Amino acid sequence: MHISEMFRLVRGTGHILDVLDVLHRELVALRIHDGAFSAMDLTARHPRTGELLSTVKFMVQTLAAAGELQRDLQRELTYDGLRATEAKGSKGGRRPAVAADQTGVVRTAYLEGCSIAALARDHGVSRGAIRTAVADLLPNHTDVEEDIPAPELLVTLDTPGKVADFLRSADLEPAERAALDEGATVRRGQGYTLRVTAIPAVHRQLLDRCQPLDGGQGVPAVPALSVQPLALRTIMVRSARAC
């Protein structure tokens, strides 16, 4: 295998030793044509152990560490230069083909009905450059709404069966009714649990409708459903935490 320079193949001290072991195991010869490694015999191994000679291993590790240091310094200097350029107000990347003083003319002509191909011919640029200059004026362009709230995450809660029956008999909003209708029934002995998945706002509304079952705020508890006070309190606590 021929490579121009060692660091075209490897990226670190540990990596170079692993690559040399793989090449030795696969009986692949390595020829480096340039750099410090080009004058080294990387195939020299101990006749009994089959490992790299200690002197060769030392030189490989030293040169690899020096190369890694050089790359790190280049990376740091590059980032420092980019930060300094950004601090001056400059932006990276290639300059636009349509000059800044011509952008207004191009946009005005496009709004007046001139085609992109005609504008490209008149200004001596490609059609892509014209599309970039009038990108926000194109028919398929959609403005990004910055104030759109993030969608609420769905929360799954297990509702005791008797509580679910009570909620179904109540006067619910369409979203609440849909959440109950789409819930998954989980059988538990002689009863069941309704697994409801909805946004936290719907769970809060359902939780508020369950207040009469707990007998809170001066309202007596519903006797028919008092057989599950612990389960009711559990679902109410889970709902409060999730919402």
Element containing residue 139 per DSSP (H, E) = none
Tell me the mean pLDDT in the region 124-135: 88
Strand partners, 5: 34
* Residue 39 clears pLDDT 60, i.e. is over it: yes
Q: What is the pLDDT of residues 226-241, one digit of tens each?
A: 444 444 444 444 544 5
Phi, psi of 204 (to 5 degrees): -65, -40
Residue type, 73: L
Q: Work out the average pLDDT over 26-36.
A: 76
Please report which confidence band the pLDDT of residue 1 belongs to, taking 50, 70 and 90 as the band edges: confident
Q: Domain-by-domain residue ranges, the chain?
A: 2-85, 100-137, 155-242
Q: Angle formed by the axes of helices 54-87 and 13-25, to 10°? A: 130
Per cent of the chain over pLDDT 70 is: 77
Query: Could you tell me the two tokens for 90?
Result: 């400059």
* Res. 150 pLDDT band, cuts 50 70 90: low
Q: Which residue has the higher pLDDT, 92 or 86?
A: 86
Is pLDDT of 72 > 70?
Answer: yes
Kindly state the average pLDDT of the residues 25-43.
Answer: 75
Residue 66 has a pLDDT of: 80
How many CB atoms are closer than 10 A to CB 213?
A: 24
Q: What is the pTM of this model?
A: 0.34
Q: Which of the two residues, 1 and 113, has the higher pLDDT score? A: 113
pLDDT at 200: 86
Label residue 224 by pLDDT band (50, 70, 90): very low
Q: Taking residues 119-125, what's their average pLDDT?
A: 89
Give the percent of the chain with pLDDT over 90: 1
Tokens of 126: 């490609």
* pLDDT confidence band for 76 (50 / 70 / 90): very high
What is the pLDDT, as a whole number, of residue 228?
45
- Average pLDDT score over residue span 102-131: 89
Mean pLDDT (whole number) for 91-110: 83
CA distances (Å), 239 to each of 64, 160, 187, 212, 233, in order? 58, 12, 21, 16, 10
